[in-house]
Amino acid sequence: MWNSGVSMKKSITVLVIAIVVISVVVGYYVLQKSGESRTSTTTIATSTTSIRLEGVILQGAGATFVYPQIAEWSRRFLDRYGVQINYQSVGSGAGQSSFFQRVVDFGCSDPPLSRDTWLKYNGSVLQIPWLFGPVVIVYNIPELPRGAILKLDAVAIAKIYRGEIVYWDDDYIKSLNPDIAHLLPHREIIAVYRSDSSGTTEIFTTFLYKASEGIWTKDLVGKTVKWPVEAAGRGVGGKGNEGVTLTVMQNPYSIGYVEWSYAIKNNLSIAAVRNIEGRFVLPSRETVEEAIKYAEIPRSPLDDFSQILDKVLYTPGANSYPIVGPTHIILWRRYDDPKKVEALKLFLRWVAEEGYNYVVEGYVAPPQNVKELLIKASELLST
């Protein structure tokens, strides 16, 4: 009786041990498979290098300001993912018009949407200031050697474009340039400006309005301007940054305003511009970063960005370049074509995570909070 009880207890003990062993083995196997599954899923989720969207074409249009950078990104994005991006460099105004008429999939505009436009499309349109760059003052004065740097302030520039300063050897310009005053010629200044609807013009004229001590008035601010110097017969229009660049190159004694990369590419002379601290500053990556670090940028791509120019132009900082502007990408929140949605999501994420490694000379990548806006926008896009 006692022996049979002991035998039974031993049998139960063996059975329990066997069950435990089997449970451990099965549990280990399940965990291993689960781990393999998680590892595989993570690889798929984070590895975008294997994604190909052959045949998808994205159409964009807008600012000439950003065209050199988009051309670089488009080439790399096509090589990586098979998505073709066709971008028309037609100016910010035309870009916004094409976008809202749904002629293109995305628009690019240096100024953001106006508050009225934002209110009209609130909730259905996304905008992100995805790149920053300086607008530079370029000039063609044959008498000045390449090593000489012309210094200008907003007062001098405003008076030139108002037609009130006529000659390069004007006393006010000479007072800004004591070291090269004797080299400044008695030649009429040709003021070159954008003839199309231009975000670069809005950046330039907004700076003049803020910094010229009342000389440049509010009615002369915008994408298109009725230039006073034109009425004086000393103004010439050029279409796009390309047109202004070419006009300055072809006309001795001219002055113009262009996006920095166009000046670099065409080896134009660039003026040092007086900032809010009273220092004459040339554009550089460091001086632009100094300017934009003071910018207050909204937290969502659905927000109103209409005041951003006022936040990045003529900012504090001893080394801050005073004429810096953003350029925005504008997208619909919803699209009919799911393949285009997938391609746009991928493009926004790629720019945020990798594209800024390939910034063309003349531009500055945005701060981290703007990169996060691109990711947020990619998450908001849907069909």
Q: CB-based contacts of 197: which residues, under 8 Å, 6+ apart? A: 91, 92, 93, 94, 223, 224
Class of domain 135-268: alpha beta
Within the chain, which residues score under 50 in pLDDT?
1-48
Q: Look-up: residue for tokens 């594209």?
A: 355
Query: Do the domains spanning 57-132+291-380 and 135-268 agree at the CATH topology level?
Result: yes
The per-residue pLDDT for 12 is: 38
The per-residue pLDDT for 32 is: 37
Handedness of CA 34, 39, 44, 46 (dihedral sign): positive
Class of domain 57-132+291-380: alpha beta
Q: How far is CA 286 from CA 32, 167, 204, 318, 370, in A?
A: 51, 33, 20, 12, 18
Domain ranges of the chain: 57-132+291-380, 135-268
Per-residue pLDDT of 251-294, as tens digits, reads 999 999 999 999 999 999 999 999 999 999 999 999 999 999 87
Q: Are strands 269-270 and 125-140 parallel, antiparallel or unpaired?
A: antiparallel
Per-residue pLDDT of 318-350, as tens digits, reads 999 999 999 999 999 999 999 999 999 999 999
The per-residue pLDDT for 350 is: 98
